[in-house]
Each structure stands twice: as C-alpha cells, then as structure tokens.
C-alpha cells in the first residue's frame, strides 16, 4: 500500500487552528504526548482533504488582476487583486485581495 502524503494547508483554517490550540493545551497540561498530537494532526490532514474532495461540488468563477505568482515544491501560489467571484446562483462577491494555493491531487506513482 502506497503511503499518501497530504498537505498541511487546512491546519491554517479556523477548524485547524482550533484543533492545534486544543492539542497544544493538552500537551502543556501533560495529558497527551507530542507524538500523539502529531498523529492527530496527520489524521486531520487526511480526513479534511478526503471529505472536501468527496462532498464539495460547488463551482464558481472569478475575475481579477494577477499581482504575483510562484511555483515552488510542486505548489502554485497566486496573489490576485480586485477580485470578483460569481457563484452558481449568480451571486457576486468582491474582495480587494485573494491568495490561491494550488497543490497536486495526484497520488504517488500516478502520471
């Protein structure tokens, strides 16, 4: 069985930060070992990625001005200014700045 590696992107989401804070408190109180916390975070990375891939089907389009882009370690990062999002229900949402991080979804060994 190939070991799938998962990105740690969702650790910076509100639920990821809450989990990390809770684990830090448990470690500080001596209630769990740091190794267990790392295992929990690894399981979180896997679970959130799998759940989002399986259940999120919404689509949107957006327009804006590309300010900066970079490609490093197989990860694309785009910084876009004056962005307008158009959702499936034709609702429009605007933002001054948006950061998009795009990672490969291929499993090891896939072409």
Domains of the chain: 9-55 (1.10.287.190), 60-103 (2.30.18.10)
d(CA 4, CA 26): 28
Q: Does residue 70 surpass a pLDDT of 80?
A: yes
Q: What are phi and psi of 2, to 5 degrees?
A: -75, 135
Contact 102, 76 (CB under 8 A): yes
64-97 in b/e burial notation, b at 16+ Cβ within 10 A? beeeeeeeeeeeeebebeebeeeeeeeeeeeeee
Tell me, what's the pLDDT at 3?
53
Question: Rounded to an integer, what distance in angstroms lies between the CA atom of residue 39 and that of residue 9?
Answer: 16
By residue count, the chain amounts to 111
Q: pLDDT tens across 5-55, in order?
A: 788 889 999 999 999 999 999 999 999 999 999 999 999 999 998 998 899
- H/E element holding 97? strand 92-103
Average pLDDT over the chain, rounded to whole? 90
pLDDT tier, 1 (very low <50, low <70, confident <90, very high otherwise): very low
Instruction: Lowest mean pLDDT of 22-26, 58-62, 76-80, 103-107, name the range.
Output: 103-107
């Amino acid at each position: 069985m190939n070991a799938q590696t998962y990105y740690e992107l969702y650790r910076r989401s509100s639920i990821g930060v809450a989990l990390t804070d809770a684990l830090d408190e448990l470690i500080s109180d001596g209630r769990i070992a740091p190794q267990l916390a790392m295992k929990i975070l690894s399981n979180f990375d896997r679970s959130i990625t799998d759940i989002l891939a399986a259940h999120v089907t919404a689509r949107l389009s957006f327009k804006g001005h590309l300010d900066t882009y970079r490609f490093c370690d197989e990860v694309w990062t785009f910084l876009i200014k004056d962005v307008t999002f158009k959702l499936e229900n034709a609702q429009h949402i605007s933002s001054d700045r948006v950061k998009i991080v795009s990672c490969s979804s291929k499993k090891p060994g896939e072409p």
